[in-house]
Amino acid sequence: MDYSELAEVYEKLEKTPAKLEKTHIIAEILKKTEARELSMLVLLLCGRVFPAWSEFKLGVANQLMIKALARAYGPKETEINQKFTELGDLGLVAEEFARKRKQVTLLRKKLQLEDVFRNLQEIAKQTGPGSQDRKLALIAELLARAEPKEARYIVRTVLEELRVGVAEGIVRDAIASAFGIPAEEVEAAWSVRPDYSEIARIAKEEGERGLKKLKLQPGIPFQVLLAEKAPSLEDALKAFKRPVLEFKYDGARTLIHKKGDKIWIYTRRLEDVTSAFPDLVELAKKCIKAKEAILDSETIGINPKTGRPYPFQMLSTRIKRKYEIERMMKEIPIQTNLFDIVYLEGKCLFNLKLSERRKLLKQVVKVIPGKFQLAESLEEPELKKAEAFYKKALDAGHEGLIVKNLDAKYVPGRRVAGGWLKVKPTLENLDLVIIGATWGTGKRAGWLGSFILGCRDPDTGRFLECGMLGTGIKEKKTSPEDVTFADMTEMLKPYIERGKDGRVFIKPKIVIEVAYEEIQKSPEYSSGFALRFPRFVRLRPDKDPEEADTLERVKKLYELQRGRGQA
């Protein structure tokens, strides 16, 4: 298939916001595409060249793209930068320079879908010394061959900013409609084989029968059950006839797959982290009394000096580590807390009640206390006991509780009512000062798009970065109290001091109230802390920047959030 055909499809998708129409457009191209090219097409439609969980990422920054554009089309980087500021989208910049180029186009061989796909995969695989240069060469080579419209979408794909609005639900419905298969069947297949590029190919080649053959099996990750938020412990208890409470540990979700001597460990995002956890692999081999099983658990890091849980970031340094794993195992020993079993000796257990799965879990696991154990739980509690249990979890340094329904099935990949409800303390909002921002791109071009938050350091009078916020600010005003990106831009423009690469420094003048999920330690921000998932709540024109929350306050809240103090 010519890549230009896909570029046409992208353009159509970009033009229509209607879900049904998008589904129809995709279904049409799925029908037309040969099975051989189908997987590549589906990935590219989603703006990827590997499934979402793959360790390979394109990882190309704007600066490198600007260099690639200069090499492919000849203009100076300053000229490209200027155009970028004007258009706010390097895809459009590429399109314009591709159109202006003087080269004779007749001799160019048309770009094939497969050429683009393979080349992008190569880009993602480059690592180590010289990798930036190699990436640059690969991008420039593609761009030199591309028609203007093709260049627009190649650039956006490489930057991982495709923005044609193809969510996974749309791909599911398009596969269903293209090959005449009920959407629920496609979804069921996806929950045990979470890769629509593979599912589209099977649907085309083998139809519904082929999809039905896809079963949960050890060694292949699946979409895990997720939790919903409960407003309070009392509400959570009322939600189910037979609730069970469990500690909510703050670590990594670890899905432990066992088949004979082989163990795999997957995270909730389906990443294979087996090599990061040789200690867990050993424990799983020793303590799972079954030939084949898949267990669900949360693994936390334990501070060897205090015996208390480390915050998640400590464990995450272990997960990311590729070298010196032995040393990390000593510094950050783990504890795995098991709470579910979904596969046993060839059988999928999704349809059993949680109460039955818990029984099987107890039978299958040989517990090593403090290392490989069942999640601490309390069955069918009344409120008083539940409250005491909640306090016990927090006192022990855990995040809160998860309330589960003993009558519920394990529904993979969905936040289903009737499954798990999480209960954790909410943190008070912070009043912070905007000290920087980045210019938006695409739909938000011309507006400041995300805002750097600062807390006050009373000792120096400076404001220190503690997060980046884009959520909660509206694109359009739908009610009078809405604050839009245009409002923010107008308000902040007079205070812009200087800028570079689309990022600006802003005089600390404007205070806003910010909600967030959690505070983490962060070496990247000058305060040493980062708010996770910050959300704009409202402007605080009543507050001077000197009255904004201080570094001390952020630190206090960080320590308070789990009663566990510093790592």
Q: Which helix (H) or strand (E) holds 211?
A: helix 196-212
Nearest by Cα to 340 from 386, 387, 390, 377? 377
Whichever of 60 and 375 has its CB closer to ligand AMP, that residue is 375
Q: How far is the CB of 254 from ligand AMP (least distance, A)?
A: 8
**Parallel, antiparallel, or unpaired for β 420-423 and 227-229?**
parallel
Q: Which helix (H) or strand (E) holds 238?
A: helix 233-239
Whichever of 136 and 378 has its CB closer to ligand AMP, that residue is 378
Q: How far is the CB of 226 from ligand AMP (least distance, A)?
A: 6
- Taking the C-alpha atoms of residue 207 and residue 244, their distance in angstroms, rounded to an integer, is 41
Residue 55: count of CB within 10 angstroms of its CB? 8
Binding region for ligand AMP (CB under 6 A): 227, 246-249, 253, 268, 298, 339, 375, 402, 420, 422
Q: How far is the CB of 407 from ligand AMP (least distance, A)?
A: 16
Tell me the β-bridge partners of 272.
Answer: 266
Q: How far is the CB of 330 from ligand AMP (least distance, A)?
A: 24
Q: Which helix (H) or strand (E) holds 200?
A: helix 196-212
Whichever of 420 and 447 has its CB closer to ligand AMP, that residue is 420
Q: How far is the CB of 246 from ligand AMP (least distance, A)?
A: 4
Residue showing the smallest CB distance to ligand AMP in the complex: 253
Q: Which structure tokens are listed for 426?
A: 């909410």
Q: Which structure tokens are listed for 510?
A: 């404007």
Whichever of 207 and 413 has its CB closer to ligand AMP, that residue is 413
Say which residues have a Cβ less than 8 Å from residue 384's Cβ, sequence separation at least 6. Answer: none
Whichever of 6 and 402 has its CB closer to ligand AMP, that residue is 402
Nearest by Cα to 451 from 487, 476, 482, 488? 488
On whether the CB atoms of residues 28 and 173 are closer than 8 A, the answer is no
Whichever of 250 and 292 has its CB closer to ligand AMP, that residue is 250
- Taking the C-alpha atoms of residue 77 and residue 89, their distance in angstroms, rounded to an integer, is 15
248 is catalytic: yes
Q: How far is the CB of 389 from ligand AMP (least distance, A)?
A: 12
Q: Which of 83, 248, 404, 424 is catalytic?
A: 248
On whether the CB atoms of residues 384 and 245 are closer than 8 A, the answer is no
Question: Which residue do the tokens 């505070």 mark?
Answer: 519
Query: Looking at the annotation, which residues are catalytic?
Result: 248
